[in-house]
Amino acid sequence: MSIEGSIRIGFGYDIHPLRRGRKLILAGVEIPSELGLEGHSDADVLVHSICDALLGSGGLADIGEHFPNSDERLKGVSSLSLLKKVREMIEKEGWSIENIDSSIITEKPNLSPFKERMRENIARVLRLSLSCVNIKAGSNEGLGAIGKGEGICAYAVVLIRRKR
């Protein structure tokens, strides 16, 4: 079997603006903050980037196609429920998820105290060992919209393998 048919990688990215009056939810963890992410669902940029990476690796379009922000049933929905549906789609296509590597970029708050719970939530939903889920947090060093505290973005890379 060619490598094309046995393993694939996927890349995902998401960004949302910060607004008062919204909760800051990352990987299903509510982070204490005066500002939260604006969006149709819970606006969880980390989970959205992972969903897009998984969908891309499986050749299954993108998160907006499967879960459009025009769908009122998705208003305020937990992005972890979307991640579960994406996992089911990947598995239905005959793939298993091997690992996730992700980065969240924000000036504040400090995400270090919350990363372990975020990893646990993602690992649980994707049915992965905790060692297969990595989350890094960084800042934009004051540069651009993220650096000015106007939003948060996340990147994710995934590896999937054809089930035998």
Split into its structural domains, the chain has a count of: 1
DSSP H/E element including 85 = helix 79-92
- According to DSSP, the β-strands at 95-105 and 133-138 are parallel
Task: Categorize the per-residue pLDDT at 4 as very low, low, confident or very high, splitting at 50, 70 and 90.
Answer: low
| CATH code at position 41 | 3.30.1330.50
What is the number of helices (H) and of strands (E) in the chain?
Answer: 6, 7
Question: What whole-number distance in Å separates Cα of residue 135 and Cα of residue 154?
Answer: 10
The pLDDT of residue 61 is 92
Quote the domain boundaries for residue 104: 3-162
Q: Residue type at 99?
A: N
Q: Is 71 or 104 the better-scoring residue by pLDDT?
A: 104
- Give the model confidence (pLDDT) of 68-79 as tens digits: 888 888 898 999
